[in-house]
Amino acid sequence: PGKKVLIVYAHQEPKSFNGSLLKIAVEELTKQGCSVTVSDLYAMQFEPRATRNDIVGHLHNSKEFNYNMETWEAYKRGDLSQDLVEEQKKVQEADLLIFQFPLFWFSMPAILKGWMDRVLVQGFAYDLSKSYDCGLLQNKLSLFSFTTGGTKEKYAKRGDVRYLLWPMQHGIMHFCGVKVLEPHICYAPEHVSEEKRKEMLTAWTQRLKTLWKEEPINCSPEWYFK
């Protein structure tokens, strides 16, 4: 109780299966006494492109634009664009970050990747001398909850789905010091019966009830590639 949760949601349709998973998370976590904030990226028309517009005022080096350097300097000066400041504040306050999305091409949708690119800037989320277990966003938990187009069997046949999680969970969250909970994967909801879909939604509700008792995964290559 009293925990703060940020759900970063990337789906265009509220009536979608992802929309149902979002609704359940908001209801269940609120019922537990958590304070839940949702960043609905499509509804917000969130800008996924990392551009000069992310820096307010003068550039550190106007002759040659380097996004990473400019956003780092702008963060230190308090000169990042308002949309980024707002998202960073949500991240800063959250105990748990849930990312809810459909898997696109073995990865997250562009709008969500753009959120990662723009919000998690150097100085705020990481420093080159402070990454992974020493990352700047320590003491936070994250959970990737997503749907797939393919069945579990198809993923098993072509290699472990965990390989796909390495860039997202390890390369972004763990790099920034965030602990990672087991992902929640709903396989091929479009291709199963209504009954099976209901079972998937119930399983998500049940998991959320005991979420705060879970231990984070061991963020090592063994977890992903064993």
Close Cβ partners of 60 (under 8 Å, ≥ 6 residues apart): 69, 70, 73, 74
List, for residues 128-170, the tens digit of each pLDDT value. 899 999 999 999 999 999 999 988 888 888 778 999 999 999 9
Record the pTM: 0.96
What does the mean pLDDT of the chain come to? 95
What is 4-225's CATH number? Answer: 3.40.50.360
Q: Please check the confidence at residue 89 and state whether its pLDDT lies above 70.
A: yes
pLDDT, tens digit, 9 for 90 and up, residues 29-73 = 999 999 999 999 999 999 999 999 999 999 999 999 999 999 999
How sure is the predictor about 1, in pLDDT bands with cuts at 50, 70 and 90?
low
Would the CA dihedral through 25, 30, 35, 39 be positive or negative? positive
Beta-carbon count within 10 A of 217 CB: 18
H or E stretch at 143: strand 141-147
